[in-house]
Amino acid sequence: MTIRFAHLSDIHFGGENQAAVAAAADHVNSGQFDLVIVSGDLTRYGEKVEFEAAAEWLASVKGPKLVTPGNHDAPYIAVAERIFTPFNRFERAIGPARAQSHLGGGFAVRGVNTARGAQPRLNWSKGQIGPRQVREAADWFSEAPPECFRILVCHHPLMEMIGGPMTARVWGGAAAARAFAEARVDLVLSGHIHAPFTWPYPFGDGKTYAVGAGTLSVRERGVPPGFNVVEIEGAAIRVAALAWGGSHYEPYRTWSLDRRPV
């Protein structure tokens, strides 16, 4: 049995690459995916009209979806709202912000919000994950059947991508990565840096992998707009980063990862 996921991130409605976004929906709708995952930053500034566009696009995408917010999904301009109720707009338009989950079909997926509307540091757009969030996610995975493929979804990479175009600087990220490796999570999917990547966490058996997706916005950082296709078949995990070439999607990079024994 092959399990297929579409992993998209950083669409930034309000500043999206319109052709790439429309083609991504067509590609996903024709791909027979078991789950469509969006790892945050659906909007550019968290404006209501941007959320309306995001919700309309998500409704056009077939099949089950799991969507977690990113830092751009807290209002940038409405400062008071960003500080006190940062994800109200997300929840009204998209769904739960704090955590999301999907269990069934041989896989377990948990979304965790690493974005904050305000932090005790100047750059509030960087990530943060608390011990309670980690504990709740690990406990949820512990109740899933042992044969399930386990995926954690968050917006910010918990540990920095080596040579990446920008940083996430997630407070609590390294401890969370270690905990998820010990919980035998297979993949930790993220976005934020607008570039695709895979690499194993240096914890446990080395078979918990960080996987990042690119962007579908005009805010490119040296990589064309695109998204990932993840396939699990037996002991193999295949990740293909697809890039928008102006008329169609084509492979940009591919990775083959070893799945830990069930």
Q: What are 39-70's pLDDT values in tens digits? A: 999 999 999 999 999 999 999 999 999 999 99
Q: Residue 69 contacts by C-beta under 8 Å, 6 or more apart in sequence?
A: 40, 41, 42, 87, 90, 94, 97, 113, 115, 155
Distance between CA atoms of residues 191 and 124, nearest Å = 17
CB atoms within 10 A of CB 262: 11
pLDDT of residue 1: 84
Say if CB 233 and CB 34 are below 8 A apart.
no
Task: Give the CA distances from residue 62 to residues 27, 33, 35, 146, 171, in Å, rounded to whole numbers and listed in that order.
Answer: 11, 9, 9, 28, 35
214 touches 223 (CB < 8 A)? yes
Q: Any idea which residue has 């995990």 for tokens?
A: 237
Q: What is the pLDDT of residues 204-256, one digit of tens each?
A: 999 999 999 999 999 999 999 999 999 999 999 999 999 999 999 999 999 99
Query: What pLDDT is stored for residue 161 in this prediction?
Result: 82
Q: What is the CATH number of the domain that holds 145?
A: 3.60.21.10
At 156, list the tokens: 């910010």
Domain that holds residue 93: 2-258
Domain count, the chain: 1
| Per-residue pLDDT band at 195 (split at 50, 70, 90) | very high
Q: What is the pLDDT of residues 103-142, one digit of tens each?
A: 999 999 999 999 999 999 999 999 999 999 999 999 999 9
pLDDT tens digits for range 128-187: 999 999 999 999 999 999 999 999 999 999 999 878 888 899 999 999 999 999 999 999
**pLDDT per position as a tens digit, 66-104:** 999 999 999 999 999 999 999 999 999 999 999 999 999
Average pLDDT, the chain: 97
